[in-house]
Amino acid sequence: MLRTPSPYDDESLAGYILRLSETNYYQSPHWILQLAGYRGNRVLRFNSHDNQPTKLNQLTGKDNKLLKSKAFGATTEDNITSYGVYKKATQLCPDCLKESPHARLFWDSKISRVCPIHQCNLINRCPKCQQAIKWSRPGVVECECGFDFRHAPTTLATDAQINFSFYLYGTLGRVEYMNAIKAIYTEDNPVFSLTFSRFGSSGIPVVNTKYSVVVKKMNTLR
């Protein structure tokens, strides 16, 4: 492969493959998937617990451990995995894409509904063609219909959803978000001992009481 940029810290493996494909002017990421020996619907769960070289490692020259860290299921403590990860569909935050055009790992979790950074609802349909957004698409910011997702309108999430997104983001290793939410609810609050399976089918628990304080703290982190 000619161009092999490094993955971003918060990028998903599928998103990285999409960006590699776009950077190399391939028409679709399926070419790379094929070369790397993945089946399309398995890419997000790319993971074996050994450290053997993979074809993607050989194609990109990037460290195999680093590549694996971009996939859900990379660690046993990754409790988001057991809840559910999107396989073909995905969602995104238009404002995050404006800041940096790469697909975030956080978006691929089915219980992620809200961007903790921009506090807006993630979008899962293209506002122009109304089709579900798939991770495999012409470009990171581009829909199959040609729409640029950075121009998609966003809606503000509810207070409870925003707080929950801070918590989720915290479980993905964003310590500052976890600390901020713990400072509000205190560490022995039952919300921190909940497992995701107990959040019910909507996936969103109502935990908000002191939203304005959290937002104030989060804004100082940006």
Q: Which one of 4-12, 119-127, 134-142, 178-186 is the stretch in contact with Zn ion (CB under 5 A)?
A: 119-127
Cβ-proximal residues to 90 (8 Å cutoff; 6+ apart), any chain: 14, 103, 107, 108, 124, 133, 134, 135
Task: State the alpha helices, DSSP H only, in 54-139.
Answer: 55-60, 64-68, 80-83, 94-99
Q: Which residues contact 94 (CB under 8 A, 6 or more apart)?
A: 123, 149, 150, 151, 152, 153, 154
Task: Write down the least CB distance from residue 137 to Zn ion, Å.
Answer: 9
User: Judged by CB, which is closer to Zn ion: 36, or 103?
Assistant: 103
Which CB sits closer to Zn ion, 1 or 204?
204
The yes or no reply on residue 142 touching Zn ion (CB under 5 A) is no
Return the range that interacts with Zn ion (CB under 5 A); candidates 2-10, 18-26, 121-129, 150-158.
121-129
Q: Where are the alpha helices (H) located in the chain, listed in sequence order?
A: 13-23, 30-36, 55-60, 64-68, 80-83, 94-99, 159-171, 175-185, 211-221
At its nearest, how many Å lie between Zn ion and the CB of residue 162? 12
Could you tell me the two tokens for 160?
């409870």
128 sits near Zn ion (criterion: CB under 5 A): yes
103 lines the binding site for Zn ion (CB under 5 A)? no
The smaller minimum CB distance to Zn ion, of residues 60 and 91, is found at 91
* Residue 168 engages Zn ion in binding (rule: CB under 5 A): no
How many Å is the Cα radius of gyration of the chain? 18
Verify binding: residue 122, Zn ion, rule CB under 5 A: no
- Which one of residues 5, 65, 98, 129 is an interface residue with Zn ion (CB under 5 A)? 129
* Residue 4 in tokens: 């092999």
Binder among 13, 85, 96, 157 for Zn ion (CB under 5 A): 96
Select the span of 21-29, 31-39, 52-60, 127-135 touching Zn ion (CB under 5 A): 127-135
Q: Which of 122, 140, 143, 214 binds Zn ion (CB under 5 A)?
A: 143
> Rule CB under 5 A: which residues touch Zn ion?
93, 95-96, 115, 117-118, 126, 128-129, 143, 145, 147
